[in-house]
Amino acid sequence: MTAPHAAGSRKTPSRTASHPFPSARSVLPEHPPSWSAQADAECTNLGWREWLALPELGIAAIKAKLDTGARSSALHVESLETFRRDGALHVCFVVRPRRRGARTIACSAPVVDRRPVTDSGGHRSERWFIRAEIALAGRRFHTDINLTDRRAMLFPLLLGRGALEGRFRVDPALSYTCPRPPSIAPAPSR
């Protein structure tokens, strides 16, 4: 049997290893089971906004917001139209790489899907999806991108977690950690 505490000598629990509630650090594994040390080491740290390129679309440099809260990636397009080429559905559209720039780039790509997307305001709309190559932080990879009107947004491209997962870690304290990709020189006239 333990002796009762003397008046005024009541002990308060300390925040040490002997505390009855273990800290989260001692209970949670260092990495979730789906992570591997190799995959963790292969991820590149990026900022919340970065320059990247969409080479297959002829876009040498475009600002992107890296958004881990968004499932899919979205590209601002103007004047979108669908057409068939060799029996496959394609889209042609215009991209304005700089928000206030006058320069536009005419693009076309095969359609991979059309599905509903819920935006950050909770509005659902049907959007066309294409598969495009992205060049970012010395890596090149393909990802699905939906085409939409983002003219009210600060960035013409939103890169969602589907494109980021397993490749990059986003540090919200960082910004533009990668140099701006060099512009594509105009094709020589013949």
pTM here?
Answer: 0.73
Asked if the model's pLDDT at residue 2 lies above 70, the reply is no
Model pLDDT, residue 140: 94
Model pLDDT, residue 13: 45
Structure confidence by residue, pLDDT tens digits, 146-156 = 999 888 788 99
Model pLDDT, residue 103: 87
Does the CA dihedral 57-80-151-98 come out positive or negative? positive
Model pLDDT, residue 42: 62
Model pLDDT, residue 177: 93
Structure confidence by residue, pLDDT tens digits, 69-111 = 999 999 999 889 999 999 999 999 999 888 777 789 999 999 9
What distance separates the 2 farthest-apart alpha carbons in the chain? 99
At 171, the pLDDT band (50, 70, 90 cuts) reads very high
- Candidates 156, 144, 173; CA nearest to 100 is 156
Domains of the chain: 49-171 (2.40.70.10)
Tokens found for residue 101: 């720039």
User: Phi and psi at residue 34, in whole multiples of 5°?
Assistant: -75, -15
Contact criterion met (CB below 8 Å) for 188 and 65: no
